[in-house]
Amino acid sequence: MSRFNNLEFGDQREEHSASRAELKDEQFYLAEAKTAFAAGRFEQALRHFAKVLEFSPKHPAAWAGQVRMLIELGEFREAKLWADKGLELIPDDPELLAAKAVALARDGDLSAALIFSDAAIESRGQTPYVWLARDDVLLARREKRADFCFERALGLVGPAQNSFEQARQLDPQCQPSPSERAQVSENTLATRLRGWWRQWFQR
């Protein structure tokens, strides 16, 4: 009797493992990629975005995500190559155009970067990343208009605070001090982010 029970439990375990494997679909890997990105694990996020593209080769968020991760890893030329591959499939995606603009700016091609940033905005790109990318390009070009783009990217402070809390929940080991929490306000957030951006370009 016990031998049959063991067999039955074994079958249930196999079914459970199979069902878990079935859950690893496009949405699963996209969620994993976003979680890894939020935690600063860019290599891991890059792999998960690649998995999303295995399921859906024309997934705009996955293409843009891959390019953004390569930028974060300092692989600017590789980022441009992947941006071109993605734009062959989805030529008008605002975030992919914006990501290529950043890759070009970081690699020193400032004229082309501005062209792609313009194209991202013209493609009805009103997401925060499109404006952050624009700011990235303008800062690389030493233009004063960068502050305007930064304000457009920040939007409301409420969503920024929500994002801060979500990031903290995703990575419980990252626990800010009370003073750091208090600094997430309209003025200090804009100042800190703008300062970080400028610091990067002064390296």
Q: What are the Cα distances from residue 99, in Å, to 102, 104, 170, 197? A: 5, 9, 24, 16
pLDDT average per 10 residues of sequence, the chain (203 residues): 45 49 83 94 96 96 96 96 97 95 95 95 84 87 60 55 57 51 43 50 47
Task: Pull the structure tokens for residue 86.
Answer: 């993605």
pTM of the full structure: 0.65
Q: What is the pLDDT of residue 184?
A: 43
Q: What are the Cα distances from residue 172, in Å, to 94, 162, 165? A: 33, 15, 10
Q: What is the pLDDT of residue 124?
A: 79
Measured between alpha carbons, how far is 140 from 116 in angstroms, rounded to an integer? 14
Domains of the chain in sequence order: 25-154 (1.25.40.10)
Q: What is the pLDDT of residue 17?
A: 46
